[in-house]
Amino acid sequence: MKKYLIAGNWKMNFTSNEAISFVNQLILHLSELNLEQIDVLLCVPFTNLHPIKSFVNSNLVKIGAQNMHFEEKGAFTGEISPLMLLDAGCEYVILGHSERRQYFLENNDILSKKIISALSHNLVPIFCIGETLSQRQANLTFQVLESQLNVLETVPKEFLSNIILAYEPVWAIGTGLNASKEQIIEAHLWINDHVIDRFHVQLPILYGGSMNNDNAKDILECKMVSGGLIGGASLKILQFIDIINTAISLSQQG
Ligand code: PEP
């Protein structure tokens, strides 16, 4: 049976009251479901971590962050460390999201430090990779994915199996343009085979890019798709619940 991870990426949305109200509604719904074959994760803004920390103990929803600094503490104004994330109840951290690569110039060097730091603090990194539209149009998709995956060369071998990958074609993020089933299957199979050949490990691969309650079934049933990283639709409680329900029914079908 396939075990799905349904992960919301709230990005820079929700005040703490809004976050608490959302999580309350989500927990109410999740408490009535069989969650054996599915993990539900919310990657929230730093300021929402402590307000929703008490829900972490419910075992129904896991909590993650959207970024972190690689150092434990020090003179890094405005940054948040892995120790602070652990203190706030985080189990996961998104690293290498295309918005961080684009607006904050995160590159392989910095992502390597962040991934190694997350892993050595027992935080599960959700490492995002994906091509831009112009890279896809220039037939560079797999070259780009390969160079982004170079980061894994730097990770100590004993840690590798704790990483989750997220394939997020940049042109599909927040645009309403999700990749076709064929494109998703092609990319996920390529990533899976490449990682096995090169690093001798099989990693879960989430899909991210305009996933919603209408397309979730088509996406989640694709080969090698282990779940979804969901931006916009994770802010709408009914849509998010619908996606979770879809994942549960697919996992029950085997
Ligand atoms: C994301 O932010 O990772 C994402 C996939 O966003 P959206 O679902 O809005 O495209």
Residue 36 exposed, middle or buried by CB count within 10 Å (0-12, 13-18, 19+): exposed
d(CA 203, CA 78): 32
Cβ of 209 below 6 Å from ligand 1: yes
Helices 16-30 and 237-253: crossing angle in degrees, nearest 10, is 30
Ligand 1 centroid–CA 75 distance in Å is: 32
Q: In 72-215, where does DSSP find H-type helix?
A: 82-87, 98-103, 108-120, 133-137, 141-149, 181-199
Q: Is residue 153 annotated as part of the catalytic site, yes or no?
A: no
DSSP state of 59: S
Catalytic, out of 69, 97, 99, 131: 97
Please give the CATH topology (third level) of the domain spanning 4-252.
Answer: TIM Barrel (3.20.20)
Q: 52, 10 in Cβ contact below 8 A?
A: no
The answer to whether residue 168 is catalytic is yes
Q: Of 185, 122, 127, 129, nearest to 158 (Cα)? A: 122
**Nearest residue by C-alpha to atom 8 in ligand 1:** 231
Ligand 1 geometric centre to CA of 196 (Å): 26
> Across the strands, what pairs with 42?
8, 63
- Residue from 51, 109, 104 nearest 79 by CA: 104
Non-local CB neighbours of 84 within 8 Å, separated by 6+ positions: none
Half-sphere exposure at residue 113, Cβ-oriented, CA atoms within 13 angstroms: 10
| Protein residue with its CA nearest to atom 4 in ligand 1 | 231
Q: What is the C-alpha separation between 94 and 166, in angstroms, rounded?
A: 9
Nearest-angstrom CA–CA distance, 176 and 129: 19
Query: pLDDT tens per residue, the chain (254 residues)?
Result: 679 999 999 999 999 999 999 999 999 999 999 888 899 999 999 999 999 998 776 689 999 999 999 999 999 999 999 999 999 999 999 999 999 999 999 999 999 999 999 999 999 999 999 999 999 999 999 999 999 999 999 999 999 999 999 999 999 998 877 789 999 999 999 999 999 999 999 999 999 999 999 999 999 999 999 999 999 999 999 999 999 999 999 998 86
d(CA 2, CA 195): 20
